[in-house]
A and B are shown apart, each in its own frame.
Chain A
Amino acid sequence: MSNLSIPKTYKLFIGGKFPRTESGRILEIRGAKGAFLANASRASRKDFRNAVVVSRKAAGAWAKSTAYLKGQILYRIAEVLAGRSSQFEAELTAQGSSNAEADVAGAIALLVHYAGWSDKYQALFSSVNPVASPHFNFSVPEPTGVVSTVAPADGSLTGLVSVMAPVLVGGNSQVILTSGKILSAISFAEVLATSDVPAGVVNILTGMRDELVPEFAKHMDVNALLLCSDDDAEKKAVELEAAENLKRVSLQADKALSPSPYHILDFQEIKTTWHPVGV
């Protein structure tokens, strides 16, 4: 009996589905020793725009879902990823990673960490304001909306999760661009798809940074952008494009973000509400 392996087709992750790029283009992925691994999808600007549309549709319900539910779902992602860690370790190693085990463990740890923030950052970043008039006045964080997320270029799973998790737990929807070890990013999308993350809340595109980052920065229906980059020219270009609709821009070094509730706050708007007190 033949024992020929059945390789996976790596596609994009948009709206909870796994479509091929509309452009029909591929990125040929080869392993450390040059062996052919897969033809991944090379996402186009049109794929990105489609992803923003579904992301916008998904944003409202995700923002409104309870903090408790968001925490449950983030923890669920950690569970499902943990159950498949050996697969991720093998896949990352095949793509040239030398510390795959630590990478997967780091990603799981981040998910557990941010799961716990889901019902706590609001208290940390809220205030009741003692105004000098007979009003009850309070300020609370609300999700910014749709976020363009550009993951660190090394393509580590920890890097991907370190940018995705704070945006997600804060109630935003997002479109993530990954480069580097992109096969694991798409496998991670399978984890998301089986963890009760509502369709469209997280979308993952694999593609070329040069081609897609400007579009991520300029889209008028995107509210915020998270860019991991050490390239000053790229950062400046992104800021210039983002000015057109005054996107909130978080520029980070091109490596995994250390866990912090302040990364959640980067994608929150503070809303202040006033009401008179009296009878």
Chain B
Amino acid sequence: MSANDFLSGGFAPAPESADHFEIKKSYDLFIGGKWVKTAKRFETTNPATGEVLSEVGLAGKKEVNQAVKAARRAYDGVWSKMSGAERGKYLFRIARLLQERAREFAVVETMDGGKPIRESRDVDVPLAAAHFFYHAGWADKLAYAFPGCEVAPIGVVGQVIPWNFPLLMAAWKIAPALACGNTVVLKPAETTPLTALKLAELFEDAGLPAGVVNIITGAGETGQALVEHPDVDKVAFTGSTAVGKTIRRAVAGTGKRFTLELGGKAANIVFEDAPINEAVEGIVNGIFFNQGHVCCAGSRLFVQESVADKVIKKLQKRMELLVVGNPLDKNTDIGAINSAEQLARIKALVKIGQEEGACMWQPSGGVPRKGNWFKPTLFTECAQSQRIVQEEIFGPVLAIQTFRTPQEAIAKANNTQYGLSGGVWTDKGSKIFKVTTALKAGVVWANTFNKFDPTSPFGGYKESGIGREGGLHGLSAYCQLIH
């Protein structure tokens, strides 16, 4: 395929090269420090081109059991006995190795998942390394984290992560678990297994003791077997609210600990006294970052009536400039939709939005012929009851509503089952605090959006999840607090 197959927004193509590293033809499971072959295998493809990138092992119950056993052995034999300072040194090593191979990880992430290279290069990979770096430092300082408590590890942790931030989610889950003295079995999503498997290569290079982290690939059934395994002490899941509830039921009565990071339908609220140009950038970043495959995406926009026309016009003008196309091109703003399945879901909900009477608008540019694509899309004339306003679309689709008073904006923003994130745009400080306090959401961005940091706790209210990850508060998800 030539680079010309893609549109590049009038810019000369600037594709990142993929010739400086290897994606192997096939990957096995990483269990107990060894690469374990499986009879069943499945392919992972590049969603931008449809080409097969590699073939990976499909872990069944037998392999899940093997992985949990390896994690238990490593926990009992090595990891729970090691001093925090030594555990921390391994995490520091991993952080460094990831920084060194950052370019390779960014390219693989983009090829396997479809996200723009600019994002994998500037957000996913550096943040993943930062998560290891941050948590490395906690490993020997846990006694200071929880005043009045004794702190102990939990044991074997089963982690199931999604396809929208494959490497970042792996780091986000593995780093705190190891820092707190637990061992891990991690299952990446079936459409994006490659960076987690490459991470296993780093663990080998770092000399991490066998079994401390095990990576098993597969789909929903593999994840279910892991969650239900009786020797797993804690389950950590990031994904949809529906699956999150199933997992919540699966751990009921088992005494297993759990954290759930689930769906969202964030309200991004723009007041008339907001810095409008910055707000428009924030709206774009809020919903079109990572093709809108973001649980905390600002998918509902609330604009104060007096500035609604102005904001929407500027937004449309800005959207005309967004480059949809080759994810490996450094000019690309919106990459490929992660899978044909997800594309079908986005299309179905957009169709429902039109049928329910909302008014759709898309920029004039086209999309590449091959691969999974969806143009950045906005809906105006939306009503609170419409499905595009209530349901998580997980794509580049924005539902816009207007409001007159702050009270109305807050009431509408909170009228959802979700409560993961929210945004507020105004130059008035007291209004910021009024609204951020009133929003029932775990992360609130004021005059910014979609910012992440390992020191900053992340997680939702209501049906957006239970527990926090990252920061001081995220540590408690991986510790037993004895008080």
- Whether B253 and A135, one on each chain, are in contact in the complex, defined by CB atoms closer than 8 angstroms, is no
Q: How large is the interface on B (under 10, 10 to 19, 20 to 34, 35 or more residues)?
A: 35 or more
- Residues from chain A with a CB closer than 8 A to the CB of B472 are 127, 129, 139
- Whether B253 and A275, one on each chain, are in contact in the complex, defined by CB atoms closer than 8 angstroms, is no
Is A29 an interface position by the 8 A CB rule?
A: no
- Residues from chain B with a CB closer than 8 A to the CB of A132 are 130, 453, 455
Is A137 an interface position by the 8 A CB rule?
A: yes
Shortest Cβ gap from B45 to chain A (Å): 34
- Could you list some 22 contacts between A and B, CB below 8 A? A127-B471, A127-B472, A129-B457, A129-B471, A129-B472, A130-B455, A132-B455, A137-B456, A239-B251, A239-B252, A239-B253, A240-B249, A243-B249, A246-B241, A246-B244, A246-B462, A260-B483, A269-B442, A270-B459, A271-B436, A271-B441, A271-B461
- Residues from chain B with a CB closer than 8 A to the CB of A248 are 466
- Whether A133 and B451, one on each chain, are in contact in the complex, defined by CB atoms closer than 8 angstroms, is yes
Shortest Cβ gap from A278 to chain B (Å): 10
CA distance A129 to B262 in the complex (A): 23
Is A235 an interface position by the 8 A CB rule?
A: yes
Is B69 an interface position by the 8 A CB rule?
A: no
- Residues from chain B with a CB closer than 8 A to the CB of A135 are 448, 451
CA distance A213 to B446 in the complex (A): 41
- Residues from chain A with a CB closer than 8 A to the CB of B445 are 273-274
- Residues from chain B with a CB closer than 8 A to the CB of A232 are 253
Shortest Cβ gap from A114 to chain B (Å): 15
**B245-265 vs A, Cβ < 8 Å mask (1 yes, 0 no):** 100110111000000101000
**Selected contact of B446 from candidates A127, A131, A274, CB within 8 Å:** A274
- Whether B473 and A127, one on each chain, are in contact in the complex, defined by CB atoms closer than 8 angstroms, is yes
- Whether B149 and A272, one on each chain, are in contact in the complex, defined by CB atoms closer than 8 angstroms, is no
Is A245 an interface position by the 8 A CB rule?
A: yes
- Residues from chain B with a CB closer than 8 A to the CB of A245 are 417, 462-463
- Whether A270 and B468, one on each chain, are in contact in the complex, defined by CB atoms closer than 8 angstroms, is yes
**B207-243 vs A, Cβ < 8 Å mask (1 yes, 0 no):** 0000000000000000000000000000000000100
**Selected contact of A243 from candidates B149, B248, B432, B483, CB within 8 Å:** B248
Taking CB as reference atom, which chain A residue is nearest B461? A269
**A241-279 vs B, Cβ < 8 Å mask (1 yes, 0 no):** 011111010000000000011100000011111111000
**B432-468 vs A, Cβ < 8 Å mask (1 yes, 0 no):** 1000110001111111100101011111011101101
Q: How large is the interface on A (under 10, 10 to 19, 20 to 34, 35 or more residues)?
A: 35 or more
Is A223 an interface position by the 8 A CB rule?
A: yes
Taking CB as reference atom, which chain A residue is nearest B456? A129
- Whether B252 and A273, one on each chain, are in contact in the complex, defined by CB atoms closer than 8 angstroms, is no
CA distance A130 to B417 in the complex (A): 31
- Whether B466 and A260, one on each chain, are in contact in the complex, defined by CB atoms closer than 8 angstroms, is no
Shortest Cβ gap from A44 to chain B (Å): 26
Taking CB as reference atom, which chain B residue is nearest A125? B473
Shortest Cβ gap from A53 to chain B (Å): 18
- Whether B260 and A246, one on each chain, are in contact in the complex, defined by CB atoms closer than 8 angstroms, is yes
Number of A-B residue pairs having CB atoms within 8 Å of each other in the complex = 111
**Selected contact of B442 from candidates A223, A260, A272, CB within 8 Å:** A272
- Whether A139 and B456, one on each chain, are in contact in the complex, defined by CB atoms closer than 8 angstroms, is yes
CA distance A236 to B244 in the complex (A): 17
3 A-B pairs with least C-beta separation: A236-B253, A239-B252, A131-B453
Shortest Cβ gap from B11 to chain A (Å): 27
Taking CB as reference atom, which chain A residue is nearest B450? A274
Shortest Cβ gap from A98 to chain B (Å): 29
Is A124 an interface position by the 8 A CB rule?
A: yes
CA distance A147 to B456 in the complex (A): 27
- Whether B455 and A129, one on each chain, are in contact in the complex, defined by CB atoms closer than 8 angstroms, is yes
- Whether B453 and A137, one on each chain, are in contact in the complex, defined by CB atoms closer than 8 angstroms, is yes
Shortest Cβ gap from B453 to chain A (Å): 4
**A134-155 vs B, Cβ < 8 Å mask (1 yes, 0 no):** 0101010010000000000000
Query: A residues touching B (Cβ–Cβ < 8 Å)?
Result: 124-125, 127, 129-133, 135, 137, 139, 142, 223, 232, 235-236, 239-240, 242-246, 248, 260-262, 269-276
- Residues from chain A with a CB closer than 8 A to the CB of B457 are 127, 129, 139, 270, 272
- Whether B252 and A236, one on each chain, are in contact in the complex, defined by CB atoms closer than 8 angstroms, is yes
Query: B residues touching A (Cβ–Cβ < 8 Å)?
Result: 130, 147-149, 241, 244-245, 248-249, 251-253, 260, 262, 417, 432, 436-437, 441-448, 451, 453, 455-459, 461-463, 465-466, 468, 471-473, 481, 483
- Residues from chain B with a CB closer than 8 A to the CB of A139 are 456-457, 471-473
- Whether B455 and A131, one on each chain, are in contact in the complex, defined by CB atoms closer than 8 angstroms, is yes
Shortest Cβ gap from B19 to chain A (Å): 31
- Whether A272 and B483, one on each chain, are in contact in the complex, defined by CB atoms closer than 8 angstroms, is no
- Residues from chain A with a CB closer than 8 A to the CB of B241 are 246
Q: A139-B457, A245-B417, A271-B461 are in contact. List 6 more A-B contacts (CB 8 A).
A: A125-B473, A246-B462, A248-B466, A272-B457, A275-B447, A276-B447
Shortest Cβ gap from B99 to chain A (Å): 14
CA distance A239 to B248 in the complex (A): 8
CA distance A163 to B481 in the complex (A): 19
Taking CB as reference atom, which chain B residue is nearest A246? B463
- Residues from chain B with a CB closer than 8 A to the CB of A223 are 462
A274 and B463 in contact, given A131-B453, A139-B457, A240-B249 (Cβ under 8 angstroms): no
Listed residue (A137, A261, A272) with the most chain B CB atoms within 10 angstroms of its CB:
A272
- Whether B148 and A276, one on each chain, are in contact in the complex, defined by CB atoms closer than 8 angstroms, is no
CA distance A236 to B148 in the complex (A): 30
**Selected contact of B443 from candidates A127, A235, A239, A274, CB within 8 Å:** A274
- Whether B253 and A235, one on each chain, are in contact in the complex, defined by CB atoms closer than 8 angstroms, is yes
A275 and B446 in contact, given A246-B260, A246-B466, A262-B149 (Cβ under 8 angstroms): yes
CA distance A232 to B253 in the complex (A): 7
CA distance A105 to B149 in the complex (A): 26
- Whether B444 and A273, one on each chain, are in contact in the complex, defined by CB atoms closer than 8 angstroms, is yes
CA distance A276 to B249 in the complex (A): 40
CA distance A125 to B481 in the complex (A): 14
A276 and B462 in contact, given A133-B453, A139-B473, A271-B441 (Cβ under 8 angstroms): no
Shortest Cβ gap from A237 to chain B (Å): 8
Listed residue (A137, A223, A240, A273) with the most chain B CB atoms within 10 angstroms of its CB:
A273
CA distance A158 to B186 in the complex (A): 44
A246 and B465 in contact, given A137-B453, A272-B458, A275-B447 (Cβ under 8 angstroms): yes
**Selected contact of A260 from candidates B148, B461, B463, CB within 8 Å:** B148
- Residues from chain A with a CB closer than 8 A to the CB of B252 are 236, 239-240, 243
